[in-house]
Structure 1
C-alpha cells in the first residue's frame, strides 16, 4: 500500500514537472534556452554528476556544447567549457558576472561570504581586495617573505636528505612545507602540537568542496543535517579559535611586524581574510607541486630535461635562487603544462550575474549561477591540438599563452575582476621549491609502484589533488 502511494506521488510530480516545462517554454519567450541535458524532477541533472564533477560536466559539454545549462536541483547553472566562452564571461561581460552565489556551507564556515574570494560584488569586496592587493600580496610584500621561503625550503631539503634512498611520502613533505610557509607568513609562527593545522585545512577544504543537498533541493535539507552539521561546527570552531589567538598575539606586539594578520588588524579589516590565505595558499600550492612531481616521475624524459636545465644554470651552487629561476624556461613550461592538465580548482569558484544580459544571443537573467570548467578548457583540442590529453611541456616553450588572466586558454587562477590576487606569491613559492627538488636530488618511483600503468585517482574537494599520497625515492647527486 505504501509503495503504491509512493509511486503515485512520483508519477504526479513527474506529470506536473513536464507540464510546467511545456507551458514555461510557451509563456516565457525570454527564458534561458541554452542547450541542456534532460533532467529529472526535484534533482535536475544531479544524477549525471559523478564523483568528479569537472569530468562529468566536460563529457556532457561534448554533447551539448561549450555553453550549457544544467540544473542542480532547483538551481539553473550555466556551465562554460571553452576558452572562447570564458572570454565572453570573464572579459566582455566581466562586471555583470563579478558576483558570487551564496551557499549554506560558506555561510557557516566563512562568515556568510565575508572574505575576498566569496564576498558578493560591491563596495565591501572592493575594500577587502584593495587591502589584499596593496598591503598583503604586492610584489614588495612577496619579496619581503624571501627569508621565510628560503628557511623552510632548506629545512625541507635536510628532511629529504636524511631519508635519501628510502621510500618517502613526498605528498606529506610538500604539504608540510606549504603549511609552514603560510603559517609563518600569515600568523608569524608555525603551529605545532597545540593545533593540527594540516588536518584542519584538509577538513576545511573537503567541506568547502562538499555538495549541499539542501541548497539545491530544499525539501531534502535534512540530509545535510545528518551528514555535515557536526563537522561544520567543529571546523568552524577550530578556525575561530586559531584566528582569535592570532589576533591577540598581534595586538600584544609593540611594533607592527608586517605579517598578514598584522596588516588585517592594522587596516581594521576582519580576519575573515585568513581563510582565503589558508585555503588558497596552502591546499592549491601543495596540490600543484604534488601534480608536477607526479607528472615528472611518470615522464622521466621531462624530468631529465628539467634537471639538465636547472643544474646547468646553477652549476657549482648549493641551491637555486629566485634570480636563477628567471632563466629557467623549461621549468616554467613544466609548471604551465601541469596547470593546464591539473588546475588546482578544476571548477573555478562560481560566478553570479548581477543583472540581465545577452550572451551569444541568449538571455541570461540576473542571479544566474555560472560555473567555468577550467579542467575542460585545458583539454580543448581546438586550442591544444590532438595530443591535448598528453603531458608535453614543450608546447609552451614557443607559446605566448600565460596563466595571469589575459589568455583564456589557460586560467588556473581565474581572470577578470575576481582573478586570484595571490598569483605572484604562489608562483614564486612553487618555482623555487620545484627547482631545488630537482637540483639537489635524483628522483624515481618505488619499484612496487603501479600508478604509471593504472593511473592516478583524483581526490574530491574544492581543490583536487591525488587521492593517495605520492611516494618517491630521492638520491643525492
Structure 2
C-alpha cells in the first residue's frame, strides 16, 4: 500500500473526529503565519521535493518565520538571517535539542552520536571529545600528509586521463579523493586505490554508507506520524534499516577489533585509535561504549564525506558554467603558487600565501551560499514554549532552518542568483556560524564541529584542481546546457554527474 493511499484512508476515517478535537484544543496562541492546513495531514499536501526549494516557495509567500503542521509534527520553518539568529543565538538553549527521527535511530546508535544526541550532559561530553580529540586544529594538522598524498594521487589520475583528452567523471573523482581521506584518517587504511578494500562480509563499506544515506533521506510515515511506526514493518522500511545497520555494525566491530589487536603498534594515531584511548581513560567524565564510538564514527562518514564532496562538485560546476570566473581564479592561484616555485599546492602554501587562500575561500563561500550541502540544517526541537518576533512557539516544535533560502535572500545579497565569488572580497563574512546570512554549517551550540576538518579538504582539493589543469566541457556540450537539477535527500547532490575534459595549461605554471 503506497504512502499516498494510506494518507487518503486516514483522512477519510479521521476527518470528523479531527474537527472536534481541533475545536477542543484551540488555544489562545499566536502562531507564526503559514498556509491553511487540512485535518490529519496538515500541510503535507503542500510540500514537494526537493524539500528546501518547496519550503522556500512557501516562505516567500508566508514569511521568514512560517508555521507548518506536517502530519502530527508542528514545524517552524526559518528562512531569514534575522530569524535564524533568534533561533540559533537569542534562544539557542531552548532550541538546542534534536527530535527523535525514526530513520536515524539505528545509524546513530540510538541517538548516542554527536549530531543527533539529545541536548544534555552526555551530548556535552561526547561533543567535547569530538572537538578536542578528533577535530581540533592540531589533530586536523596531524593528517596533512594523508590529504596531500590523496591529492597527489588525484592529480596523477587526472593527468593520465588528460593525455587522451578523455572526459573525466569529476563527480566520481571528487568523491573518491574525499572518501579516501576520510577512510585513511579514520581507519589508517587505503581507499579505492589501496591494496585492500574495506568490507563487511561481501559488501564494500562505501556501498553500505551510501545505502545508509539513501535510507535516511527517504521520507517515511513514522517521521510525520510517530504513532504509525508499525507501518514501516509492513512496507519493508524497517527491514531495510535493520539490514543496513547489521552490515554497518559488523564492519565497525571488525575495525575496533583490529585496532585493539594492534594497540601501541602504530606510530600515528587514527581517529579509531583516539576514541579507544579516550574510552580507556579513567579521567573522562563519561566512559564511551563501543556503541558510542560507532555512532561517532558514523557521523564522520555520513556527514564528513558527503558534505565536502557535494561542495566541491558544485564548485567545479559553477566555475565551468562561468569561464571568466574560472580563468580569473586559475590565473590568481597559478600566479601566487608560481612565485613559490612549487609544482603543486601544498597545505603549507595556504597560510603562507594569504592571497591564494583568500581566492580559494571566496569561491568556497560563494558555493556554500548558493549550494549549502545540507540546505535544511539538521532539525532542532524546542524544549519549552517561547516567543519569537511576537509569535508563540510551542514546546516540541520541530525547527527547520533553510540555509539555502537565507543564502538567496536579496535583503542581504545583491543579485543572489548570480555566482560571484568577488562579492566576498571586501567583507569578513564567513561560514563559521557568526554571520547568520551564511549558515551552511549551522550556528550556536549545535553548529557543526567539523568545520576545520572540512575546510582544509575543500581548500586543498579545489586549489589543486584549479592550479594544475585547464578544464573544458566535452565536445559539443555548452555551459548553458549543464544540468543543474538537484537530487532529493539530506545532502543535495548535483543530480547528474559532471563530466569535464582536463588538459595541461598551455602556459608554464
Q: TM-score, normalised by structure 2?
A: 0.88
Matched residue of 1:79: which SS?
strand
Cα deviations by residue, 1:71-96 (Å, 9 ceiling, x for unpaired): 11110111100000000010111111
Closer, same or farther in 2 for the Cα pair 1:87/1:243, shift >3 Å?
A: same
Q: Deviations over 1:393-452 (max 9, x none)?
A: 111111221101100000101100011111011011110001011111000111243563
Q: Does the C-alpha gap of structure 1 residues 470 and 9 become closer, same or farther in structure 2, counting only changes over 3 Å?
A: closer
Is residue 224 of structure 1 aligned with residue 232 of structure 2? yes
In structure 1, which of residues 322, 339, 351 is the aligned counterpart of residue 347 of structure 2?
Answer: 322
Deviation for aligned residue 1:237: 1.5
Counting matched residue pairs gives: 468
Cα separation, 2, equivalents of 1:68 and 1:411: 18
- Cα distance change of structure 1 residues 356 and 438 upon mapping to structure 2, 3 Å threshold: same
Aligned to 1:292: 315
Q: Is the 8 A contact 1:287 1:463 kept in 2?
A: yes
Partner in structure 2 of residue 175 of structure 1 = 175
Tell me the distance in 1 between the aligned counterparts of 2:108 and 2:403: 24
Q: Which moved more, 1:281-290 or 1:459-468?
A: 459-468
Task: Classify 1:446/1:124 alpha carbon distance in 2 versus 1 (closer, same or farther; 3 Å).
Answer: same
**Residue by residue, what CA displacement relative to the aligned partner does 1:189-215 show, whole Å, maximum 9, x if unpaired?**
135445223322221222222212123
Aligned with residue 53 of structure 2, among 55, 59, 67: 55
CA RMSD of aligned residues (A): 2.0
How far does the alpha carbon of each residue in 1:223-263 deviate from its partner, in whole angstroms, 9 at most, with x for none?
A: 53314223212221121112111111111124164211111
Question: Aligned partners of 2:122 and 2:226: how far apart in 1?
Answer: 29
Asked if residue 267 in structure 1 is aligned to residue 265 in structure 2, the reply is: no
2: distance between equivalents of 1:449 and 1:223? 47
Instruction: Give 1:459's aligned residue.
Output: 487
Task: Identify the match of residue 428 of structure 2 among 382, 397, 400.
Answer: 400
- 2:213 is matched with which residue? 205
Match of 1:307 among 323, 327, 330: 330
Superposed, which structure 2 residues align to 1:79-98 within 5 Å? 79-98=77-96
Q: Distance in 2 between matches of 1:204 and 1:190?
A: 22
Give the C-alpha shift of residue 54 in structure 1.
0.2
Structure 2 distance, partners of 1:262, 1:21, is 54
Supply the distance in 2 between the matched residues of 1:8 and 1:367 (Cα, whole angstroms).
Answer: 27
Checking the alignment, whether the CA contact within 8 Å between 2:51 and 2:488 is kept in structure 1 is: no
Gaps of 5+ in 1: 1-5
Q: Tell me the alpha carbon deviations over residues 361-384 of structure 1, each in whole angstroms, 9 at most, x when there is no partner.
A: 222222211110001000001010
Offset at residue 180 of structure 1 (A): 0.7
Runs of 4+ in 1 over 4 A off after TM superposition: 6-12, 218-223
Specify the alignment match of 1:252 in structure 2: 261
> Kindly tell me: are residues 455 and 469 of structure 1, through their superposed partners in 2, closer, same or farther at Cα, counting changes over 3 Å?
closer
State the secondary structure of the residue aligned to 2:114. Answer: coil
* CA 1:395–1:282: 2 relative to 1, 3 Å: same
Distance in 2 of aligned mates of 1:265 and 1:428: 25
Following superposition of structure 1 onto structure 2, how do residues 18-417 of structure 1 map, counting pairs within 5 Å? 18-25=19-26, 28-29=27-28, 31=29, 33-164=31-162, 165-191=165-191, 192-195=196-199, 196-218=204-226, 221=229, 223-225=231-233, 226-255=235-264, 257-268=268-279, 269=288, 270-271=292-293, 272-315=295-338, 316-326=341-351, 327=354, 328=356, 329-385=358-414, 387-417=415-445
